Amino acid sequence: MGITMREAYGRALASLGERDERVVVLDADVSKSTRSVVFLERFPERFFNVGIAEGNMMNIAGGLASCGKIPFVNTFSFLLTLRAGEQLRTGVAYPRLNVKVAGAYIGLSDSFDGATHQDVMDIAVTRAMPNMTVLSLSDHVMAARAVRAAAEFDGPVYLRLHRNETPDLSREEDPFTIGKAVLHRDGSDVTLIPTGIMVGKALEAADLLAKEGISAAVLEIHTIKPIDVEAIVKYADQTGALVTAEEHNILGGLGGAVAEVLGEHRPAVLERVGVADTFAESGAYDALLKKYGLTAEAIVAAARKALARRLTWRSRRRGAHEGRKRCI
């Protein structure tokens, strides 16, 4: 723990600014919240606070990028992807401009402000935009790494950043490659596929499952797009039962992306842990995670369900085979 993802993000931005003069930063009157203020303190001349005007900000970023700058655009994720979503689509993604979009306060992490400020659909929106790369980070170390990776990558990138303190999961020396899943632990019965803060919960779930004699692999997906098809297919083959876990609607997010991969490449049993297509509410963060089913226990229950379904699925398939034989 120690620092939040957003704080690490702000610092990484500032050190990036030191190395690369092309880096410019924009915010829409929430720089203290997004922590882009850390960059402002170091490089006021390369920082643009546009006021409460997200659409304007997104297109200004596009203009800057068209002139060779590397803009990092900041505000709450729902405002970047929805209020300024059309500007993001037409003004950034379509011309494939080199703009980095840093969505702060993702998921339920702005818990007390309530459903207006929470965001359970940013993955769905950005994932559906052609030309977008979508990164969902799981701790402050990875957030800092992702800032550098995004800057080195030529093209629009969406970064998903959490508001609160989260457990440490990665080390400075761990590789971070856009598009590559991270295997946290191997397993043979079921594969847990988490993203963001659900990585920590999935690791806990794997421990709980081990106590029941169930061997669970934990495969983190930080790049939602382009998704690591190879790794998912490999683990579909290895376990045949998978559980996605995300701080996002179960529709259109990581669960949707993995379902698409399985449907196309390796039909397998899939359970999705996430927000069940509902708006949440105000409350303490942990209380919300519990109420909306974003816990290690929920992952364990989903894993059990996936395993049970795999059993009936396989026996039904066997039964179908035998039935066909009898009919002939």
Partner 1 sequence: MSQKTDQELVRRLAERARRLRVSVLEMIYRAQSGHPGGSLSAAEILVTLYEHELRVDPKNPRWPDRDRFVLAKGHAAPALYVELAERGFFLKSELERFRQIDSILQGHPDMKKTPGVDMSTGSLGQGLSVGIGMALAARLDQKDYHVWALLGDGELDEGQVWEAAAYASFHKLTNITAIVDLNHVQLDGSTREVLAMDPVAEKWRAFGWRVIECDGHSVEELLGSYAAAKGEKSGPTVILARTVKGKGVSFMENNAAWHGAAPTEEQFQQAMVELKQSAAAEQTTKPGRDN
Complex with ligand TPP: residue 28 or 135, whichever CB lies closer? 28
Q: Which of 276, 287, 308, 311 is close enough to bind partner 1 by CB under 8 A?
A: 287
* b/e code 292-305 from CB counts within 10 Å (16+ = b): bbbbbebbbbbbbe
Contact region with partner 1 (CB under 8 A), list: 25-33, 94-102, 146-154, 220-228: 25-33
Q: Which of 26, 30, 242, 275 is close enough to bind partner 1 by CB under 8 A?
A: 30
Q: How far is the CB of 83 from ligand TPP (least distance, A)?
A: 6
* Number of residues engaging partner 1 in binding (CB under 8 A): 30
Q: Which of 264, 291, 297, 315 is close enough to bind partner 1 by CB under 8 A?
A: 291
Which of the residues 45, 54, 172, 281 is marked catalytic? 54
Complex with partner 1: residue 112 or 237, whichever CB lies closer? 112
Q: How far is the CB of 52 from partner 1 (least distance, A)?
A: 4
Q: How far is the CB of 53 from partner 1 (least distance, A)?
A: 5
Q: Which of 7, 29, 168, 204 is close enough to bind partner 1 by CB under 8 A?
A: 29
Contact 87, 58 (CB under 8 A): yes
Complex with ligand TPP: residue 29 or 260, whichever CB lies closer? 29
In the three-class reduction of DSSP (H, G, I as helix; E, B as strand; rest coil), residue 318 is classed as helix
Contact region with partner 1 (CB under 8 A), list: 13-21, 30-38, 169-177, 223-231: 30-38
Q: How far is the CB of 38 from partner 1 (least distance, A)?
A: 13
Complex with partner 1: residue 79 or 92, whichever CB lies closer? 79
Contact between 276 and partner 1 per CB under 8 A: no
Select from partner 1, ligand TPP, none the partner in contact with residue 56, using the beta carbon and a kind-dependent cut-off of 5 to 8 Å. Answer: partner 1
Alpha carbons 193 and 198: distance in angstroms, whole number? 9
Can you give the binding site for ligand TPP, defined by CB under 6 A?
A: 29-30, 52, 79, 83
Q: In sequence order, what are the beta bridge partners of 249?
A: 275
Calculate ∠ Cα 37-3-8, nearest 5°.
45
311: left (phi over 0), alpha (psi -120 to 50) or beta: alpha
Q: Which of 3, 35, 39, 49 is close enough to bind partner 1 by CB under 8 A?
A: 49
List the one residue out of 33, 50, 267 whose CA is nearest residue 164.
33
Contact between 116 and partner 1 per CB under 8 A: yes
- Catalytic (active site) residue 54: yes
Contact between 86 and partner 1 per CB under 8 A: no
Contact 95, 62 (CB under 8 A): yes
Alpha carbons 135 and 315: distance in angstroms, whole number? 38
SS (H, E, C) 28-43: CCCHHHHCCHHHHHHC
What strands lie across the sheet with 190-194, from one edge to the other?
182-185, 216-220, 190-194, 241-249, 269-275
- Name the DSSP class of 107: B
Pair of tokens at residue 323: 């039935």
Alpha helices in the chain (DSSP H): 5-19, 31-34, 37-42, 54-66, 77-78, 85-88, 122-127, 140-152, 198-211, 229-239, 254-265, 285-291, 296-327
Q: How far is the CB of 280 from partner 1 (least distance, A)?
A: 9
Contact between 278 and partner 1 per CB under 8 A: no
Q: How far is the CB of 21 from partner 1 (least distance, A)?
A: 24
User: How many CB atoms neighbour CB 224 within 10 A?
Assistant: 28
Contact between 226 and partner 1 per CB under 8 A: no
Which residues does the annotation mark as catalytic?
A: 54
Binding site for partner 1 (CB under 8 A): 27, 29-33, 37, 49-53, 55-56, 78-79, 83, 112-117, 281-284, 287-288, 291
